[in-house]
Amino acid sequence: MILFSAEAALPTQANVLKEAQPEFVQARTADQIDGAAGARFYIQRPDSDFLTEVNAADFGVLPDNNDNTVALQRALDYCAQQEAT
């Protein structure tokens, strides 16, 4: 856990990292995050237009099951074999 006190000073502008927006492949996008004292960074995430939705229930994961371990593993194994899932 990291704690900050009210007395802690923020970095000066010259000491703050500013990332350039990264180049992305077509199937990825980025969110720009503007932080304290002018800090800027980007979080890459998949572009939802290029994703395939997988429903774990299609592999037998159900809320009424006492143990969904095998069914969930089947879903995860399927996802690992697919692109953009």
pTM (whole model) above 0.95: no
* 3-class DSSP string for the chain: CCCCCCCCCCCCHHHCCECCCCCCCCCEEEEEEECHHHCEEEEEEECHHHCCCCCHHHHCCCCCCCCCHHHHHHHHHHHHHCCCC
Q: What integer best gives the mean pLDDT of the chain?
A: 75
Question: Which amino acid is residue 74, in one-letter code?
Answer: R
Contact of 29 with 61, CB cutoff 8 Å: no
Q: Is residue 79 over pLDDT 60?
A: yes
